[in-house]
């Protein structure tokens, strides 16, 4: 099943756990577009647009963003990618002081929640109506409302994380195992077989300083073992079982995984034969040696196949100095040419009705098929990234990495570590006033660790 077929028929089903309990039909396809209107024109764009974003921070992604998406904008864009905490602090400080300098912000769905709650974002409902020809899926535009009648961001991209293996690893799969229905236990067995056959550990995970291991823990392992986003069930008996299983898996993980940040490099070099990572961080290996790899969904745990749905958006701070320029840039970035450039260059999937051509890079086509299979899993446990944590986001991720270090690397008692971590987790949830997010039951007040 190729990517064009995905676009035409909308075969993907992404569960987003919204208040309306809706499913997005089609990662690449539009469903139920917003009312059509006259989109703003980018011709003769007005003034300078300071664009602050949590996305595309790595040097290579930053360069591709500027070259493939921003250079064709007729106005002047100053693009500044930043980490989540300074991003939050700057927007909040400028908004509260009433002297914003930023005209456009780009981030993930969860990045906008506290800004919307505290009245720091402009209502983009009129702009959404004018961009109705883009065919944004209704489920995505509903997410941007955060339970209100306003739309606080315009959808920008979608993405997820996948598994990749070198083809020479396939003969070592456990008897009866299939990469399309692989369990975590079978993944561990597979890694052990490879270690015996090759004399080295060939499973890789991105555990370096800028790697995404925290996402793997709270977005994949926790949902697969507890059917929780790693919050309400943080210290449950199922969580303890998960951490025990993760310790076994880590026993067959390449020892340099604590330094890996992008899995495409060790996959391409052959140091690693099986890996998990963000779709944008796998493309280098798949594009350079397309015939050497297979791409497949995340493994299945006792409670199902946990996987993360990443939703990106574009918002305008209230009181922004160049609203017209920001709206023109949003118009530019959601046009078909830029949506497809993001797909080709950055492996982030469109959120519009852009007609996807059949001549995409091999990596993108292979990832699209695996994304379709993962999202359509009958046993899927789709999970949002953290919502509403604001300046506590980095502390949240650090908690899971610290828990990993203590349990997996230092072999500390699982129950003790989880009890202590649960208290830390509750403190930061209270500080952010962050409600639960899918698949944990939604709440009005701060999420509660059970």
**Which CATH number characterizes residue 200's domain?**
3.40.190.10
The pLDDT assigned to 35 comes to 38
Per-residue model confidence (pLDDT) at position 2: 29
- Could you tell me the maximum CA-CA distance found in the chain, to the nearest angstrom? 64
Same domain, residue pair 194 and 261: yes
Q: How far apart are CA 228 and CA 319, in angstroms?
A: 38
- pLDDT tens digits for 131-171? 999 999 998 899 999 989 999 999 999 999 999 999 999 99
Residue 96 lies in a domain: yes
pLDDT tens across 340-361, in order? Answer: 999 988 989 899 998 878 777 7
**Residue 74 within any structural domain of the chain:** yes
Do 43 and 388 touch, CB atoms closer than 8 A?
A: no
Whether 365 has a pLDDT exceeding 70, the answer reads yes
Domain count, the chain: 2
Residue 367, pLDDT score: 87
Query: Does residue 284 sit within a domain?
Result: yes
One domain for residues 259 and 404? yes
Q: What pLDDT, on the 0 to 100 scale, is given for residue 306?
A: 96
Q: Is residue 170 part of a domain?
A: yes
pLDDT digits 0-9 by tens, 403-436: 999 999 999 999 999 999 999 999 999 999 999 9
* Residue 154 contacts residue 104 (beta carbons within 8 Å): no
Task: Indicate whether 167 and 243 sit together in one domain.
Answer: yes
Q: Are residues 278 and 315 in the same domain?
A: no
pTM: 0.85
Residue 214: closest CA among 372, 421, 52: 421
Yes or no: say if 109 and 385 are a contact pair by the CB < 8 Å rule.
yes
Whether residue 16 is found in the same domain as residue 56: yes
Q: Are residues 272 and 200 in the same domain?
A: yes
- Per DSSP, what are the bridge partners of residue 306? 381
Query: What is the per-residue pLDDT for 287?
Result: 87
Tell me whether residue 230 is in a domain.
Answer: yes
The answer to the question of residue 439 being in a domain is: no
Regarding whether 178 and 59 lie in a shared domain, the answer is no
186 and 284 part of one domain = yes
Asked if the model's pLDDT at residue 265 lies above 50, the reply is yes
Name the residue among 307, 315, 249, 242 with its Cα closest to residue 279: 307
**Domain region containing 244:** 161-305+391-432
Average pLDDT over the chain reads 89
Whether 301 and 335 share a structural domain: no
Residues 63 and 115 in one domain: yes
Same domain, 102 and 175: no
Q: What's the pLDDT band for 372 if we cut at 50, 70, 90?
A: confident
């Amino acid at each position: 099943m190729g990517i064009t077929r995905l676009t035409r028929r909308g075969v993907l089903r992404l569960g987003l756990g919204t208040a309306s309990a809706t499913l997005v039909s089609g990662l690449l396809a539009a469903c139920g577009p917003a009312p059509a209107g006259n989109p703003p024109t980018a011709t003769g764009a007005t003034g300078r647009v300071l664009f602050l974003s949590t996305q595309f921070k790595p040097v290579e992604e930053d360069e591709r963003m500027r070259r493939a998406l921003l250079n064709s904008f007729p106005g002047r864009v100053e693009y500044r990618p930043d980490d989540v905490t300074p991003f939050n602090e700057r927007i909040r400080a400028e908004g509260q002081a009433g002297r914003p300098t930023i005209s456009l912000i780009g981030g993930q769905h969860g990045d906008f929640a506290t800004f919307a709650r505290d009245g720091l974002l402009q209502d983009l409902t009129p702009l959404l109506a004018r961009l109705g020809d883009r065919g944004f899926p209704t489920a995505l535009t509903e997410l941007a409302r955060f339970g209100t009648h306003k739309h606080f961001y315009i959808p920008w991209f979608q993405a997820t994380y996948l598994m990749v293996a070198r083809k020479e690893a396939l003969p070592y799969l456990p008897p009866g195992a299939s990469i399309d229905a692989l369990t975590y236990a079978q993944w561990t067995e597979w890694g052990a077989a490879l270690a015996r056959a090759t004399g080295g550990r060939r499973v890789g995970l991105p555990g370096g300083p800028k790697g995404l291991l925290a996402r793997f823990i709270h977005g994949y392992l926790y949902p697969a073992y507890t059917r929780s986003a790693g919050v309400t069930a943080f210290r449950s008996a199922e969580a303890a079982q998960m951490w025990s299983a993760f310790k076994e898996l880590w026993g067959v993980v390449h020892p340099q995984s604590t330094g890996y940040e992008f899995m495409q490099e060790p996959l391409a070099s052959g140091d690693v034969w099986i890996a998990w990572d963000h779709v944008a961080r796998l493309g280098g290996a798949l594009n350079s040696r397309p015939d050497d790899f297979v791409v497949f969904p995340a493994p299945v745990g006792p409670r199902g196949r946990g996987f993360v749905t990443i939703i990106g958006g574009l918002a305008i701070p209230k009181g922004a100095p160049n609203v017209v320029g920001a709206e023109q840039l949003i118009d530019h970035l959601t046009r078909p040419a830029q949506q497809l450039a993001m797909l080709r260059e950055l492996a982030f999937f469109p959120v519009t009705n852009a007609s996807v051509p059949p001549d995409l890079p091999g990596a993108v086509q292979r990832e699209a098929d695996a994304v379709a299979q993962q999202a359509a899993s009958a046993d899927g446990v789709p999970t949002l990234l953290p919502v509403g944590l604001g300046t506590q986001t980095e502390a949240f991720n650090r908690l899971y990495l610290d828990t990993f270090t203590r349990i997996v690397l230092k072999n500390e008692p699982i129950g003790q570590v989880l009890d202590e971590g649960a208290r830390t987790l509750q403190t930061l949830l209270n500080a952010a006033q962050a409600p639960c997010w899918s698949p944990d039951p939604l709440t009005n007040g701060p999420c509660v660790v059970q």
